[in-house]
Each structure stands twice: as structure tokens, then as C-alpha cells.
A and B are shown apart, each in its own frame.
Chain A
Amino acid sequence: MTGHHHLTEAERHGAADGTLAPDVASEVVEHLGACDVCATDVARLKSLMTRIREVPATLVVDGEDLWPSIRARIEQEKVAPLRDAPHLGASSRRYGSWLVGLAIAASLIVVAVLARRGPTRAAPAVDGTTSSGQFTAVAESTRVYEEQARFLLNELELRRALMRPESAASADHELQVIDGAIAELKRAIERDPNNMALRALLASSYKQKVDLLKRINNAG
């Protein structure tokens, strides 16, 4: 090593960052004392090591607060399970009613909590499109579910004559609960139009209404 051969790449990096195995360290040191080429190269790498140690562990995001977008995503996640409520067959209708009630109650609690916090500032878009994109997507979901619900309601009216009175009454009651929640959400959105969570809840509530109507129509 101290002869004509230069240090290997591994030995140079090991010498620079102090990770040489003890059994080769002394030979490497000896070589560095005799070889200017390797000594210069290791010195350059050591200089880099010094700069690395000075790198700050934190960086500040310039002029952009990511929190509103993160919060919107978190709030949206909270309502995701409501959207994914399982399709319920006729045999589990009682469970379905209970689930709808629970989901609506949860929605109303969220509405109440959000309303107490006061109006939400418009979430600054991360890339200029993310925030508006989320709003557009949720608004589109709401519109689609609303249309589906309207169609299914018409279908329900046609089938009503064939339904047993107690089934019709039960269906009407469940629809009233959901419609009450939807009305409450719409009022809350009027007060706080930038609140992404409320808008997501509204879409979720319409989805529940569609699921309920499908269930009723299929059962009928």
C-alpha cells in the first residue's frame, strides 16, 4: 500500500469519515503520510465531511403554510368511512338504519364542532390547484349524488303504493333524518363557505341518502 499503489476508493472514504477497520487504519495513515495524491484527495473528502456536519437539521418553508391543506386532508379522511358505508341487504335493514343514524349523528357533531371554531380561511393551494381541485371534486360528487337521489326518490314514489305502510313510514323517517342533516350542513356551509370538511360531509350525506334509497327500492 505504501508502494506504487494508491489507496482504494473504500480506503479513501474510510479515512475521510473515520470508518476504517482498525486492522487497515495504520497502513492507510502510513500511506497518506507518503503519498500526496491520496492525501490531497482524502483532505478534499474530509472538507466535505466538515460541511456536512454544518448542515442544519431543519429548514423553514418559505412563505407557505402547509397546515391548512394538511388539515383539510385530515378532516376529509374523517368522513371517508361514511362514504364507504357498506351496501346493506334487506336482511340487515335494521342494522342499516342504525348505521345511518349513527353516521348522521357523527356528521352533526362535526358540524357543531366546526361551527364553534368560526369561519375557515380559504386554504392556500399548495401548487395553486390542489385546494381548488379538492373543492371541485367534492362539489362534483355532491352534484352527482344529488341527481342520483332525485332519480331514486322519483322511483320510490312510483313504488310506494306497493310498499307496506310500516316500511314506507320507516323509509320516510330515515329520509327525514338524512334530509335534516343535509339541511343543517347546507346552513353551516352558507356560514363557512371555505370549510372543506363541511363540503365533504355534505357529499357524504348525499351518498348515504343514495345508498338508503337504493336499499329501500331494492327491498321493495
Chain B
Amino acid sequence: MGMNARPRSVVDLPSATTGDLDDVVRRAQQGDVDAFEHLYRVHSPAVYALCRRMVGDERESLDLVQDVFVRIWQRLPTFRGQSALGTWIHRLAVNVVLEQLRSAKREALRFLDDADDTLLPARTSEHHLDAAMDLDHALEQLPAGARSVFVLHDIHGYSHDEIAEMTGIAPGTARAQLWRARRALSRLLDQ
């Protein structure tokens, strides 16, 4: 786990009892779409937050949320309850997003050992950033690789080794991407 020991569960479950939720999960696993909708309502805000921050694009993140929940529906029968459902969903969502980033083969996704700082936003006023720009908006300005590593490490608490395993990059590369992301964010937020 990274520097902030934030629980990885994608959501703090609302007041429904564990028994109620277990029943909802069981029904959804048996093909009850209405029960699955309940799970969607509970977990989609966290999944959306993850997708939004990982890909940095509103439209794409909405498509990804749909992909994630279709995947959850397909895999739900395999959920055995060893982990919290939120944690299971979160990990599945991360995998879907990373698959998407890989398949897109986008130029900006530099999981390679590059040290090209031109990828990072400049400190100049080119970006015309609002002084009140929040972190989420600043994240959008980052290259995909640095943004993904930053979100996984600093927001969701994955270690560099875990990120390396998930993304296929070296732990040292993950560390370098994180530092670059932090530097860029710090510049953007200070403007």
C-alpha cells in the first residue's frame, strides 16, 4: 500500500445492513437485473470517480463505467465474498480501465522509461488554468501514463510494485511517473 493507507474499497457502503447487501449480491449473482441495478446505484459513483481520474476524459469515462458494470455483471457469479464487494469491484474496474488504456495504444500513454518532460504541462500560462482549478481538473492535463500511476498510488494507495504488476511497467518507472505527475500537478495547482 502506498503512502496514504486509504481503504481500497471503492465506496463506503450506505446504511443498508450487511445482510441486506448480501441478499442483493446473491440475487444479482443469480441473474436478477433489478438487484444488480441496486449494486450499480451504490457503486457507480466510486467507479465513475476512478474512471474519470484515470482517463481524464468525461465522455470516455462514461463509456468505461458502462464497460465496467457489464464486466461486473459477467463476473459477478465468480465473486465468492472473500473480499468486500467494493474492493472486488474496484480492482475489476482498474483492470478494465488499464485494458482500455492499453488497447487504445494512445501516444500519451507513456508507461515506458521516457524522461521527456515536454509531455508534462508547461508552467507557462498556455493552459489558461483557472486559479481555482481543482485537483480533478488538473489531473486531466497530465499524460495518461503519469495520471494513471498517480491515481493508483496517491489516491487509491497501491504500491509501486502492485502498479508495476498491473501495468507491466518497472517499479522504478512507476516511481518516476509518480514524481513527474506530482511535479506537474503541483505546478498546475500553484498557478
Contacts and interface: CB of A to CB of B under 8 A. Distances in A.
Interface stretch (B19-27, B39-47, B97-105): B39-47
B65 A74 contact: no
Nearest to A19: B3
B10 A49 contact: no
B11 interface: yes
Interface residues of B, number: 39
Given A9-B179, A48-B189, A57 B12 contact: yes
Given A13-B179, A73-B70, A59 B36 contact: no
B88 interface: no
B155 A52 contact: yes
Interface string A27-62: 000000000000000001101110111011111110
A71 B37 contact: yes
Given A10-B175, A74-B33, A48 B62 contact: no
B191 interface: no
A195 to B, nearest CB: 13
* Interface SS majority for chain B: helix
Contacts of A55: 135-136, 155
Contact of A49 (B3, B12, B36, B52): B3
Interface string B147-191: 000000011000000000000000000010011001001100110
Given A59-B45, A126-B62, A51 B11 contact: no
A85 B45 CA distance: 37
B3 A48 contact: no
Interface residues of A, number: 33
A9 B12 CA distance: 35
A66 B182 contact: no
A208 B154 CA distance: 52
18 contacts: A10-B179, A19-B3, A45-B186, A49-B3, A49-B154, A51-B135, A55-B135, A58-B48, A59-B45, A59-B52, A64-B62, A66-B44, A66-B65, A67-B40, A70-B69, A70-B73, A74-B33, A127-B59
Interface of B: 2-4, 6, 10-12, 33, 36-37, 40-41, 44-46, 48-49, 52, 59, 62-63, 65-66, 69-70, 73-74, 135-136, 154-155, 175, 178-179, 182, 185-186, 189-190
